[in-house]
């Protein structure tokens, strides 16, 4: 049995990636919610997560079918583990070149786009188009990040013909799902081709399930709310 430790669905972009990957692929798992109260050593969040992940972060995956229970942390490591454990799900593209490109763009997301992350944190419940306009006007690095994402997605959609980045749903689409929610929350301007892809990702059953849970949380985590005083 797989057990996935995650943070608040409204805010935790890293948690969203493996959760959507599992849900959309039809892989059974148990969810363990570690709500964001604080990231201090003595917080409830740390007390719940630290025994599973020594760095005390989410997401973390525990596979109890392995003797002693195998813990895997970091989103990319979790994705790779799932791809190996469930080869029939074809979580990576089957073509060698496409698979290499998919790994490359996921790694780019994993280590890049710092400006977009910083200025447009994931906040599914919020609608912040006016903030998005200010960020777009004032933050050239955010514009550069979005320009790179538009170029990347456009190329992949044209090469593989859609509807997802590599044709069928893959780890890459799960990896960029939080970016899709950011584009919506902040109403950042993108071309029609990209807007259509955003709509298709938002319509995925796994993404819809995550969004529904995020909207139902009703939490307001102050340190994840740089632009609002209340819901």
Give me the chain's average pLDDT, please: 97
30-33 sheet: strands from edge to edge: 30-33, 2-6, 60-63, 70-73
Contact (Cβ atoms closer than 8 angstroms) between residue 1 and residue 27: no
Contact (Cβ atoms closer than 8 angstroms) between residue 73 and residue 55: yes
pLDDT given for residue 68 in this prediction = 87
The structure's pTM equals 0.97
At the top level of CATH, which class does the domain 96-213 belong to? Answer: mainly alpha
d(CA 159, CA 21): 23
d(CA 205, CA 211): 10
Domain with CATH 3.40.30.10 in the chain: 2-89
What 3-state DSSP class applies to 144?
helix
* Cα torsion angle, 15, 185, 220, 114, sign: positive
pLDDT digits (tens, 9 = 90+) for 41-89: 889 999 999 999 999 999 999 999 998 899 999 999 999 999 999 999 9
Task: Copy the structure tokens of residue 136.
Answer: 């777009």
d(CA 217, CA 194): 29
CATH code given to domain 2-89: 3.40.30.10
Task: Copy the structure tokens of residue 38.
Answer: 């604080």
What 3-state DSSP class applies to 81?
helix
| Cis upstream peptide for 77 (omega within 30°) | no
pLDDT digits (tens, 9 = 90+) for 177-206: 999 999 999 999 999 999 999 999 999 999
pLDDT digits (tens, 9 = 90+) for 100-159: 999 999 999 999 999 999 999 999 999 999 999 999 999 999 999 999 999 999 999 999
d(CA 17, CA 207): 10
80 exposure class (CB count in 10 Å sphere: 0-12, 13-18, 19+): middle
pLDDT digits (tens, 9 = 90+) for 87-103: 999 999 999 999 999 99
Domain with CATH 1.20.1050.10 in the chain: 96-213
Q: How confident is the model at residue 173 (pLDDT cuts 50, 70, 90)?
A: very high
């Amino acid at each position: 049995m797989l057990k996935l430790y995650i943070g608040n669905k409204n805010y935790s972009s890293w948690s969203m990636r493996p959760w959507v990957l599992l849900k959309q692929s039809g892989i059974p798992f148990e969810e363990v919610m570690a709500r964001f109260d604080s990231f201090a050593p003595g917080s409830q969040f740390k007390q719940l997560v630290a025994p599973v992940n020594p760095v005390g972060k989410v997401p973390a995956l525990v596979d109890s079918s392995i003797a002693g229970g195998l813990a895997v942390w970091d989103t990319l490591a979790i994705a790779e583990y799932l791809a190996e454990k469930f080869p029939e799900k074809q979580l990576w593209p089957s073509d060698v070149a496409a698979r290499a490109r998919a790994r490359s763009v996921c790694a780019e997301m994993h280590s890049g786009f710092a400006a977009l992350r910083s200025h447009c944190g994931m906040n599914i419940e919020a609608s912040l188009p006016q903030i998005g306009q200010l960020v777009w006007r004032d933050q050239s690095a955010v514009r550069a990040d979005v320009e790179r994402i538009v170029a990347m997605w456009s190329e992949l959609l044209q090469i593989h013909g859609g509807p997802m980045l590599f044709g069928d749903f893959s780890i890459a689409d799960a990896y960029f799902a939080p970016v899709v929610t950011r584009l919506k929350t902040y109403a950042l301007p993108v071309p029609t081709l990209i807007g259509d892809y955003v709509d298709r990702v938002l319509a995925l059953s796994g993404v819809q399930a995550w969004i529904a849970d995020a909207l139902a949380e009703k939490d307001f985590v102050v340190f994840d709310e740089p632009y609002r005083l209340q819901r």
